[in-house]
Structures are given as C-alpha cells and as structure tokens.
C-alpha cells in the first residue's frame, strides 16, 4: 500500500499533460480535439493562485501535520468535551446540563443538534446541496425508503397501498385521506404489465382539465418507460411528464417538488432522444429556475448540448461557463470539453494554500471549531467525527464559511480519518473557488490507498479504476457497511461474495485482503460479461446485470451519456459518472508518481465512451 505524508501532498512532480498524452494515450483517454472556443471563453477563469497562497498565515501542509491551535483546555472542559462526545440523546443532554452547570457545549448532546445548532441563514446554502445528494450512494430516485416501523405501522402502509391500487383500477386520480408519499410508487410496482386500467388512467390524466398530484404523473410516466422502446409508451410517458410540467407552471407558489424536477428532467432527456432540442431547452430552462437540485449539472450540460447542435455558439459557451462554475471537476463538465479538464494545468503548480482558523464575525461556527480543536488535541477522534456530522449530513452548513476556514476543518477530518467529511468539505471549496484545485488539495480529495494490493490482484482491469470505485463505495473505510447489508471497501453483499468464494463469511469481508480479492474478481467478471464496456460493468456492479440488460433494451441509442442519464435510479446514474470523474482525476494526479502500476495501466486502458462528445 502506498501512503503519502501530509508534506508529500504538496511537492510531487508531474509530467506535462502533452508528454503524458504522447506516452500513454490509451491509458489517459487523451483527446486530440481542441475546443479553442471553450478555452478562449474560459481564459477569464484562469486560476490566480495568489488568491489562495498569497499573504501571511498558517498553511494547509502545516495544519495537516498537527493541531495549530494554542488552546489548552482546563480539566473541567476536557471532562465536558469527553462527555459531549458520547451519543446524543435527551438523557445524556439533561445529565450534561446538570453536571456542567448548563454549559452551552451540552447542546451537542441534544437530539438533532446538528439541525438546530447553526442558527444563521446560509446565503448560498443551495450551492452544495446537489453534490450532497449526487454523492450519496444510498439515495435511489423517487423511491421512498421508509424507516423500520412497528407491525401496526406496516399494516397501515400495506392497507394504504391496496387502497391506491383499487383507486387506480377505478380511475380515481385524487388522494384519499390517509395516503402517504410513495404509495403511488408502491401501488404501481404491483402491476406486472401495462394493463387496460393503467392505460385508462394515463388517458384520463392527460385529458383532465384539473391537475392531479404531480407525484402520480411522475410515477406513471416512469411506469410507462418500463415498456420502452414501444413508441406508444414513449408518447404516453412524455405526455404525462409534459402534463406534470404544465401543472407545475400553473401553481401560484414556486414549485420545488422533486417529482416536478424528475418529470422535467426526464421530459427534457426524452425530447433530446426524439430529436426535439427546442422543447428540451425550454424544459431544462424551467428546471434550472427551480434552484439547485439533483439535476442541475445535467440540465446545464444538455442545454449546452442542444445549443451546440443548433450552432448557437454564444449560448453554448455561456451555458458551459455556468456548468464549469457549478461543477468544475464533474463528469458532465469533462464530457463537454471532450474528456479533458481546463484545470489540468493546476496540477503543475506547487501551491500550499493558506487556511483561516476562525470564521469572520460573531457566529456559532467559531464555538464549534473550538470544540473540534480541543477534541483533536485530546486525541478524541470519535468526538471529532461526531462534531463533523453536520458536514456529512447537510453540507449547506458550510455555505457561509470562507474557503480558508473550510480547508482548516478538512485538516481535522483528515487526522480523524473521516473520509466522508473530508470529501464533502473539499468539494464545497472546489465549487466556490477553482484556484483551490491544485496538486495538494486534489491529493487529499483523491487519496491513493491500497494501490499495491489492488495492483497485485487485478488481471483485466485498470488499478486506478478499482481505486476510483472504492473511493465511491466506501471512501476507503474498511468497516463501512450500508443499510442494505453491503460491507467493506468494495461494499460487497455477503451473498454475492459467497458465489465467488464459498468459504468467505461476512466478518472476513471487512478485511481489505478478502474484500479486494473477491470484489475485483467479481468486477472483472462483469467487465467480461459486458465485453469490456466499463460503463455498463459499473452500472451492473451497482444495480445488477439484469437491470442493465433491461435498460439497454429500454433505451437503445448510440449517445452513451444520454443512456446513462436516462437510467431511472439516481443511485446508479450518479454512481457511473462519479466513478468516471474519479478515474479521470486519479489517472492525471498520479500518472507519474504511481510507477508501480503504470505498466498495468497501459495494459488495461479505460474508455469512458460518454466522455467523448465528438463521437456522439
């Protein structure tokens, strides 16, 4: 395993991009196509590194190595913070108040403290919401994942679904009193074919002058997609999404429903699929006006795609500029510039950013930072992770903090080995100021772990690709486990693992050696199944090969990125593009440093078809 020290993040050498491309063209997926018009318009965004490293102050490299605070907590405070690092619940909260004389730090023990502690409104909180959802592997598009409930609760839910099924069969398009969110999805799932009842409901929804629940339009549109490429079902699905869009426009209050977002997104994609960019751009425009959401980057990408197809050069460049600003490292941004990044030159800059240890003004953030400093000084990594939980759960808490303060917080996540918080913090920094996208910060964002072990186990896939997958699956945390039962570095389901090795058990899968051996073997089998198509293999690793086979039949097309964006599950849709993004940056950052795998990388090139816009 290769391990990088904090200082080595800062001063590693790299080949020039042109040299790398001439030596390893297949490995790096270099594009010979130059988009001079993009490069020209982006000159205004050329990084000014004096903004992040000029002046006096502590540097990132120093803060990564040690706690820079001079705070020496007294014994009483140490006892308080040790107590505060315990589990949050009402009992511990009351006990803390009584034992430590109503100390404000006791608030960290109050249930849901992270939702109430920061009382200030964040001006640009929405800027980070999309990535929080985009990077959340557990989220599935429009599926309501209910928490475990009592038998009585389950009985009520089952009864509600049955009632919705009966209403569908009767053509009733209104909610009944006890209907819950998600009941439409669960009810429609029980229909194993497109019955006459569903057809009658679709016709009624399209022709009805009043607007039904947008949730119903969205779910029924998705149900019709299950029967693509049938042309009639395509027309039905688009008509339902169009009706949802029209109904949302009639509402007096701004529509922020995720069902409206989903309907507009899918209508836009299906319009592109049917060669109607005029409708697509109008719909994506309305989607963009809904504010930052799960589809923001994609909506901008496809709007730019249509502008380029229509030879609207200025409109295309303006939209690309928006996309770059919103998601400079993102997969869709890379695809728009034919599989390369305008920030690649930043890797050659020996920049050591200056950090800020306190937020400006009177703010609860500073008390929070002080508590994290003290816990870090005490070596209480569990307490540090607990206080960083707002970053993992709701990154919008970072919205009002200067990038230098966020970088300071990232150093505590780094030392506490809290990869999830570290990645969230750095992403929020990159999105607000691309000058921070440099060698030192990117090596924090894309750590190189388990590389030697991966290189020894691969036989048909690129080691960087497996590293990119592990980063997305578990953030390199050996003890990671999901709510559906997946465990370890490569998030293997025990049942799937036993198909590959009958001797393995769940406990063994938490060990890197066993997890990597079985996970790589399984992924390589998927690559073989899909005849070397990495994107389909990744989708299959996440959703299962049978689901990918269904989607291939459902959306037959040559435009690979359109196919990927049409995948109905956001988890899988995001999974493939995020790993593609990860792979790109790993291959660039470590192309010269990782000499132990260069030979393997040349032998096993990776081709993300969806990164090459000129081939679509």
78-113 in b/e form (b: 16+ CB < 10 A) is bebbebbbeebeeebbeebeeebeebebbbbbbeeb
**Beta-carbon neighbour count of residue 547 at 10 Å?**
16
Helices (H), 477-533: 494-500, 512-529
Cβ–Cβ under 8 Å, residues 261 and 294: yes
Residue 406 near residue 398, CB atoms below 8 Å: yes
At which residue do the structure tokens 């511990």 appear? Answer: 92
Residues whose CB is less than 8 angstroms from the CB of residue 589 and which lie 6 or more positions away in sequence, other chains included: 14, 347, 439, 442, 443, 446
Q: In the chain, count H helices and then E strands.
A: 34, 0
Read off the tokens for 243.
């009706």
User: How many Cβ atoms sit within 10 Å of the Cβ of residue 175?
Assistant: 16
Tokens of 39: 């490069």
| CB atoms near residue 499 (< 10 Å) | 12
* Contact yes or no for 417/436 (Cβ under 8 A): no
Gap between the Cα atoms of 11 and 40, Å rounded: 30
Question: What is the spatial distance between Cα 244 and Cα 263, in angstroms, rounded to a whole number?
Answer: 7
**CA dist., res. 276 & res. 256, Å (int):** 25
Which of 391, 412, 400, 406 has its CA nearest to residue 436?
406
Q: Are 411 and 64 in contact (CB under 8 A)?
A: yes
Question: Rounded to 5 degrees, what angle do the CA atoms 562, 555, 283 make?
Answer: 50
Rounded to a whole number of angstroms, the CA Rg of the chain reads: 25
Read off the tokens for 395: 């990154």
DSSP state of 354: B
Active-site hit among 225, 370, 473, 535: 473
Given the structure tokens 């690649």, which residue do they identify?
A: 344
Q: Catalytic site residue 473?
A: yes
Of 607, 39, 19, nearest to 336 by C-alpha is 39
Q: HSE on the CB side for 100, CA within 13 Å? A: 22
Q: How many Å apart are CA 16 and CA 34, to the nearest integer?
A: 17
- If one counts every other C-beta atom within 10 angstroms of the C-beta of residue 427, the result is 20
Identify the CA nearest to 565 among candidates 299, 219, 293: 299
Residues 122, 124, 129, 131: is their CA dihedral positive or negative? negative
Mention every residue, 6+ apart, whose C-beta is less than 8 A from residue 152.
none
Instruction: Point out the residues that are catalytic.
Output: 473
């Amino acid at each position: 395993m290769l391990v990088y020290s904090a200082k080595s993040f800062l001063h590693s050498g790299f080949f020039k991009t042109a040299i790398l491309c001439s030596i390893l063209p297949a490995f790096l997926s270099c594009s010979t196509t130059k988009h001079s018009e993009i490069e020209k318009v982006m000159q205004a965004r050329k990084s000014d590194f004096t903004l992040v490293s000029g002046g006096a102050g502590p540097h990132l490299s120093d803060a990564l190595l040690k706690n820079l605070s001079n705070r020496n907590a007294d014994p009483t405070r140490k006892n308080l913070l040790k107590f505060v690092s315990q589990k949050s619940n009402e009992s511990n909260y009351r006990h803390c108040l009584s034992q430590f004389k109503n100390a404000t730090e006791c608030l960290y023990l109050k249930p849901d403290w992270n939702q109430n502690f920061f009382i200030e409104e964040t001006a640009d909180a929405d800027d980070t919401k999309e990535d929080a959802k985009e990077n959340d592997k557990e989220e599935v598009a429009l599926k309501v994942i209910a928490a475990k409930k009592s038998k009585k609760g389950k009985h009520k839910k089952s009864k509600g679904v049955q009632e919705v099924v009966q209403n569908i069969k009767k053509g009733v398009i209104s909610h009944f009193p006890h209907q819950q969110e998600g009941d439409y999805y669960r009810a429609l799932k029980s229909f194993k074919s497109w019955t006459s009842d569903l057809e009658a409901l679709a016709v009624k929804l399209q022709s009805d002058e009043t607007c039904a629940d947008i949730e119903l339009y969205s779910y029924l549109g998705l149900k019709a997609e299950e029967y693509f490429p049938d042309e009639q079902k395509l027309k039905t699905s688009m008509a339902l999404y169009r009706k949802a869009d029209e109904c949302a426009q009639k509402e007096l209050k701004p529509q922020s429903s995720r069902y409206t977002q989903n309907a507009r997104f899918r209508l836009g994609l299906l319009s592109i699929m049917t060669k109607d960019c005029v409708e697509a751009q109008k719909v994506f425009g309305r989607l963009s006006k809904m504010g930052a959401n799960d589809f923001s980057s994609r909506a901008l990408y496809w709007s730019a795609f249509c502008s380029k197809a229509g030879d609207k050069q200025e409109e295309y460049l303006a939209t690309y500029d928006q996309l770059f600003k919103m998601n400079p490292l993102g997969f869709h941004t890379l695809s728009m510039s034919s599989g390369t990044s305008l920030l690649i030159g930043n890797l050659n800059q020996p920049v050591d950013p200056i950090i800020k240890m306190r937020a400006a003004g009177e703010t609860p953030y500073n008390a929070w930072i002080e508590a994290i400093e003290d816990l870090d000084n005490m070596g209480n990594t569990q307490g540090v992770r607990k206080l960083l939980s707002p970053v993992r759960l709701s990154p919008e808490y970072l919205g009002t903090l200067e990038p230098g303060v966020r970088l300071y917080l990232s150093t505590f996540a780094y030392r506490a080995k809290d990869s999830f918080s570290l990645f969230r913090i750095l992403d929020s920094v990159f999105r607000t100021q691309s000058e921070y996208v440099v060698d030192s910060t990117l090596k924090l964002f894309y750590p190189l772990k388990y590389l030697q072990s991966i290189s020894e186990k691969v036989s048909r896939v690129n080691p960087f690709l497996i590293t990119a997958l592990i980063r997305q699956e578990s953030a390199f945390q050996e003890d990671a486990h999901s709510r559906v039962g997946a465990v370890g570095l490569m998030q293997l389901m025990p049942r799937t693992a036993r198909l590959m090795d009958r001797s393995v058990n769940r406990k063994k899968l938490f060990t890197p050696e066993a997890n990597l051996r079985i996970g790589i073997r399984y992924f390589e089998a998927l690559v073989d199944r899909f005849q070397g198509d990495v994107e389909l293999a990744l989708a299959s690793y996440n959703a299962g090969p049978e689901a990918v086979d269904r989607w291939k039949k459902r959306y037959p097309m040559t435009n690979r990125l359109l196919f990927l964006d049409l995948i109905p599950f956001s988890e899988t849709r995001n999974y493939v593009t995020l790993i593609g993004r990860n792979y790109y940056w790993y291959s660039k950052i470590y192309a010269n440093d990782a000499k132990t795998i260069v030979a393997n990388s040349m032998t096993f090139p990776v081709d993300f078809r969806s990164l090459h816009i000129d081939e679509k």
